[in-house]
Amino acid sequence: MRAAAPAGLLLAGGLAVGLAGCTTRTSAIAIPPDQLPTVDAARDDIARMTRDPRPLARPVLVFSGWGDPGVVSLHMASALREVAFEPRVAAQQFFTSWTMEHCRRNAVAAAAALVPEDRPADAGPLEIDVVGKSMGGLIARELARDQAEADDPVVRVVRIFTISTPHRGARLAALPTLDPKVVAMRPGSPFLARLDGVLDDEGGPKLIAYTRTDDWMVGEGNTAPAGAGVRVLPRPPLQFGHLQAGRDPRILADIMRRLRGESPLLPEPALTPSEGDPAD
């Protein structure tokens, strides 16, 4: 109960600015319009993959965002299972985790649950991919850091797909709060600084980042680490830029294609300025 008031304040503020984002554009679209699939075309592509399920390259973990009791992560995991010949997809929520350390422990446990009981002891770590919505993308990077530093790692994270993740911090994290997870998502926090070294390490996971315009909760320029690009998609009318990004058919179709070993739906992104950096 101790986090109820601060969390409520943050959520109320998020809804307010999210609604404002439905009428205000905040940045240029990084992907050229002629290379952007329509929402309907992406839905058709998902239907095609559902009719022709294929094995995934490796097991997949789907991590929820801040304030999500598992609704979004379960939806994404269910959608991924529909296009997979082998349903090696699991979802993990962090709604009941009070700190980032608690989130890390739950992520490690979820990864360990993916390892088959009959896997040989000398087989080495199990290679997995992770999909993270918002804060879940940070927990995916924390899992990769944890396993990279472990003496006997359970898994090795090969790819991290992040959707509207505050890699450089979230705008709304500046609001007053007692929630340590929100404090950790403030720009320049020690937690975020520690994560940046994970992607710089040779052999570290590949990051594939997505976001949508009008994301007033995080800010489009914050949704990729320094030196990385993000696929910025236009927010459909009458939708929240941030809150509904995990259900965007264009993002889901691109992730599904990559997990199935198909050619991507979306092109490689250009570098996106961070919040406060001058636009080109």
- The SS3 call for residue 163 is strand
**E-state strands within 41-154:** 60-63, 89-92, 126-133
Does the residue 272 lie in any domain?
Answer: no
Residue 276 to residue 135: CA distance in whole angstroms: 21
Does the residue 269 lie in any domain?
Answer: no
Say if CB 130 and CB 143 are below 8 A apart.
yes
The encoded tokens of residue 113 equal 């649950």
Q: Which domain holds residue 206?
A: 4-25+33-116+125-259
Residue 66 to residue 15: CA distance in whole angstroms: 14
The encoded tokens of residue 184 equal 């950790």
Q: Look at the chain and report how many structural domains it folds into.
A: 1
- CATH (domain of 93): 3.40.50.1820
The encoded tokens of residue 275 equal 């919040």
Provide CB contacts within 8 A for 129, sequence distance 6+. Answer: 56, 57, 58, 59, 60, 61, 157, 158, 159, 160, 161, 259
pLDDT of the chain, 280 residues: tens digit per residue: 334 344 444 444 444 444 333 433 334 445 777 778 999 999 999 999 999 999 999 999 999 999 999 999 999 999 999 999 877 999 999 999 999 999 999 999 999 999 998 888 888 899 999 999 999 999 999 999 999 888 889 999 999 999 999 999 999 999 999 999 999 999 999 999 989 876 655 667 999 999 999 999 999 989 999 888 899 999 999 999 999 999 999 999 999 999 999 999 998 886 666 665 544 4
**Residue 211 bridge partners (DSSP):** 232
Does the residue 275 lie in any domain?
Answer: no
Q: At what angle do helices 71-82 and 249-259 cross, to 10 degrees?
A: 50
How would you classify the pairing of strands 126-133 and 155-163? parallel
Does the residue 232 lie in any domain?
Answer: yes
